[in-house]
């Protein structure tokens, strides 16, 4: 028995040593460079045409048939290797945007900063990008044509339409895990930056010098965080080191682009994790400077818990394939800063509650628009949600029915539920009342409304005498007589 156990232990140790040594050998043999990528044959990777959308395959085949090189690139390849279902299928090719447009009638060219081709199949859009080239090798071309390439004084790329080879394109990619190319002609995966190794090690690593790459496009700092939470990976030490110093560069990003990044970070099912990481790296304030200031100064004891609860609920809805709107999250982010401004206006002026609300609303939205450009359609929903918080508290007479029939009642009610869970007290009681009201019989609803009117603080019967019938017409006739 002892001999058998000892032999098993020895055998397991030998197998472990073989595995470790084998991994080291493979790693040494397969180190990718941009001039000499690691090429994985069909039997060495899980990427297959059955994992690729029919429309993406159509684009790849037509580009190949037109005499161009075309590859599925980036996230689509990465996600399949990770065993995930890709949501987007991006394609890279040596065809220029104009040449792509000649091949596809359903193509539209977009972008000035990065010229791209969108191949439209109904609601499905396949993005096709031409291989990017190095700026150094095209300096004369760049100087002679400012529409081709342009950088800001901070090193940010304002325009980048210099085209090159697949090797140059791979080197211009942001992260190693995105420098993976799959060909439908030979079914091979081309790994230019040891991306497959980083995928297996779950590492987010920038290609090239991190500081230079962040300066070229500061949004890469946000992308690093988004990939880390989405893929359950860790940002490498060298890639996270410059973030704190270079974070202010995000202030130069157009507000419209920051709104797009907000949607990607907070409407992807990882909102709460992204919120925590953004705050850890000091990047959240470039989305919501007013909110970050309130959080740092602890102006409201409910703010942090309320935001985190709203983010948690949003993640649950997205992961359950339920609909969400950016307006609800934006309303949650800015609710308590709005209340603080209303209180300050009430203390400093004699505005009516309605005027104080709209003054605070306009001031807050105007300030927020400098950071992220919130479209008007979402601003209107935010305003409805906020106004409903007051309307839902006024339930006497016909007001309860009017609020119940409001087009945005459900959003306002869901918002009130979150407030009740965090604030407790009157907000929680009000949320419970509306929960019961929605499922109650019409007669019970009327009784609930009457009970509110009776129990309302300060409620009392009017002592004003009713005017006798005909008295108004009599007074009118008397005044007309006197005027004559």
Is residue 276 annotated as a catalytic residue, yes or no?
no
Q: 160, 169, 174, 191: which one is catalytic?
A: 174
Q: Which residue's entry shows tokens 């941009």?
A: 34
CA dist., res. 126 & res. 134, Å (int): 25
What the block records as the tokens of 358 is 């709209």
- Nearest partner of 59 among 1, 101, 110, 2, judged by Cα: 101
CA dist., res. 86 & res. 103, Å (int): 25
Phi, psi of 234 (to 5 degrees): -115, 135
Length of the chain: 484
Is residue 88 annotated as a catalytic residue, yes or no?
yes
β-strand 90-93 against 124-130: which pairing, if any? parallel
Q: 88, 209, 232, 355: which one is catalytic?
A: 88
What the block records as the tokens of 477 is 């006739």
CA dist., res. 133 & res. 172, Å (int): 7
Q: 90, 160, 169, 384: which one is catalytic?
A: 90
Catalytic residue annotation: 88, 90, 174
């Amino acid at each position: 028995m002892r001999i058998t156990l000892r032999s098993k232990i020895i055998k397991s140790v030998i197998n472990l040593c073989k595995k470790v040594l084998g991994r080291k050998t493979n790693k040494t043999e397969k180190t990718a460079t941009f001039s000499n990528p690691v090429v994985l044959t069909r039997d060495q990777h899980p990427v297959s045409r059955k994992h690729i959308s029919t429309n993406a395959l159509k684009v790849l085949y037509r580009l190949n048939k037109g005499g161009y090189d075309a590859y599925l690139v980036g996230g689509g390849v990465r996600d399949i290797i990770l065993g995930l279902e890709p949501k987007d299928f991006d394609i890279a090719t040596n065809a220029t945007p104009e040449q792509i447009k000649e091949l596809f009638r359903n193509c539209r060219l977009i972008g000035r900063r990065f010229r791209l081709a969108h191949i439209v199949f109904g609601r499905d859009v396949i993005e096709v990008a031409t291989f990017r080239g190095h700026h150094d090798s095209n300096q004369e071309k760049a100087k002679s044509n400012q529409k081709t390439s342009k950088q800001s004084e901070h090193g940010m790329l304002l325009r980048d339409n210099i085209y090159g080879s697949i090797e140059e394109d791979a080197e211009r990619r942001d992260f190693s895990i995105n420098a993976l190319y799959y060909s439908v002609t030979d079914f091979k995966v081309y790994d230019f930056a040891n991306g497959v190794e980083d995928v297996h090690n779950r590492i987010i690593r920038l290609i090239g010098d991190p500081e230079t790459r962040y300066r070229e496009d500061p949004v890469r700092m946000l992308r690093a965080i988004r990939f880390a939470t989405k893929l359950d990976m860790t940002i490498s030490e060298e890639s996270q080191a410059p973030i704190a110093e270079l974070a202010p560069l995000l202030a130069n990003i157009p507000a419209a682009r920051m709104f797009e990044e907000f949607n990607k970070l907070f409407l992807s099912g990882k909102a709460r994790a992204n919120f925590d990481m953004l705050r850890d790296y000091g990047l959240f304030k470039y989305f919501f400077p007013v909110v970050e200031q309130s959080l740092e100064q602890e102006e409201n004891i409910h703010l942090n818990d309320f935001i985190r609860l709203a983010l948690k609920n949003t993640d649950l809805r997205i992961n359950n394939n339920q609909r969400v709107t950016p307006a609800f999250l934006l309303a949650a982010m800015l609710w308590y800063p709005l209340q603080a401004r209303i209180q300050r206006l009430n203390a400093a002026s004699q505005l009516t509650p309605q005027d104080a609300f709209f003054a605070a609303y306009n001031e807050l939205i105007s300030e927020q628009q400098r950071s992220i450009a919130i479209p008007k359609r979402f601003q209107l929903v935010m305003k409805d949600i906020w106004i409903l918080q007051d309307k839902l508290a006024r339930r006497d007479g016909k007001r309860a029915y009017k609020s119940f029939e409001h087009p945005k009642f459900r959003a306002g009610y869901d918002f009130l539920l979150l407030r009740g869970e965090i604030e407790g007290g009157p907000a929680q009681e009000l949320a419970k009342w509306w929960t019961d009201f929605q499922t109650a019989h019409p007669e019970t609803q009327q009784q609930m409304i009457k009970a509110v009117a009776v129990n309302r603080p300060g409620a009392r019967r009017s002592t004003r005498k009713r005017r006798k019938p005909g008295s108004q017409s009599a007074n009118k006739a008397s005044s007309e007589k006197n005027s004559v």
